[in-house]
Amino acid sequence: MADNKESRKVLVLLGSPRKKGNSAILAGQIIMGAESAGAEVETIFLHEKKIAPCQSCYACQKKDSKGCAIDDDMQPIFQKLIKTDSWVIASPVYWFTMSAQTKLFMDRCFALSAYQKNPFAGKRIAIAMSYGDTDPFTSGCVNALRTFQDAFRYVGSKIVGVVYGSALEAGEIDSNTALMKTAEELGKKLAG
Predicted TM-score (pTM) of the model is: 0.94
- Residue 170's nearest CA partner among 11, 12, 26, 43 is 26
Tell me whether residue 1 is in a domain: no
Which residues are CB-neighbours of 83 under 8 A, at least 6 positions away? 9
Q: What is the pLDDT of residue 5?
A: 61
Q: Which domain holds residue 19?
A: 9-191
| Per-10-residue mean pLDDT, the chain, length 192 | 69 96 97 97 98 97 94 98 97 96 97 94 96 93 96 96 94 96 97 88
Tell me whether residue 140 is in a domain: yes
CA 164 to the chain's CA centroid: 13
Tell me whether residue 70 is in a domain: yes
- d(CA 178, CA 70) in angstroms, rounded, equals 42
Q: What is the pLDDT of residue 1?
A: 36
Q: What is the pLDDT of residue 192?
A: 84
Report the domain count for the chain.
1
Do 129 and 23 touch, CB atoms closer than 8 A?
A: yes
Tell me whether residue 4 is in a domain: no
Q: What is the pLDDT of residue 4?
A: 44
Q: CATH number, domain at 154? A: 3.40.50.360
Q: What is the pLDDT of residue 2?
A: 42
